[in-house]
A and B are shown apart, each in its own frame.
Chain A
Amino acid sequence: MQNVDFTLCEGEIHALMGENGAGKSTLIKVLTGVYEKDEGEIFLKGMNKAAVIRSPQDAQKLGISTVYQEITLCPNLSVAENMYIARGKGAGQNWKKMNADADKILKSLDIPAKATQQLSSCSIAIQQMVAIARAVDMDCKVLILDEPTSSLDEQEVQKLFGLMRDLKKRGVGIIFVTHFLDQVYEVSDKITVLRDGKLVGEYEIETLPRVKLVAKMLGKELDDMEEIRDDSLVYKGKDADETVFEAKGLQSNAGIKPFDFYIKRGEVNGFTGLLGSGRSECVRAIFGADRMLHGEVKKNGKKIKISKPIDAMKNGIAYLPEDRKIDGIIGDLSVRENIILALQVLKGFFKPFTKAQAYKFADEYIKLLEIKTASADTPIKSLSGGNQQKVILARWLLMNPEYLILDEPTRGIDIGTKIEIQKLVLKLASEGMSVTFISSETDEMLRTCSRLVVMRDRKVVGELSGEDLTQNKIMSTIAGGDR
Chain B
Amino acid sequence: MNRDRVTAILMLTPSVILLAIFVYGFIAWTGYTSVTDSNLRQQLRGETAEVVGLKNYEDLFTGLLNKRFRVDMTNTVFFTILFIVACLGVGILLAILLDQKIKGESVFRTIFLFPMALSFVVTGVAWKWLFNPTSGINVLPTVIGLPAGQFQWFISEDRWLPFNWHDLGFYIALILLGMALLFTLWQWSKKRSQWAAFGAALTLLLLAWVTLGDPRSITPIREDGHGFNVALIALVVAAGWQMSGYTMAMYLAGLRGISEDLREAARVDGCSELQVYRRIIFPLLQPITLSAMIILGHISLKIFDLAYTMGGGNNLFIDMPGINMFFTTFRASEFGRGAAIAVIMLIMVAVVIVPYLYTQLRSETHL
The answer on A and B forming one complex is no
- Report which B residues bind A (CB closer than 8 A): none
- Report which A residues bind B (CB closer than 8 A): none
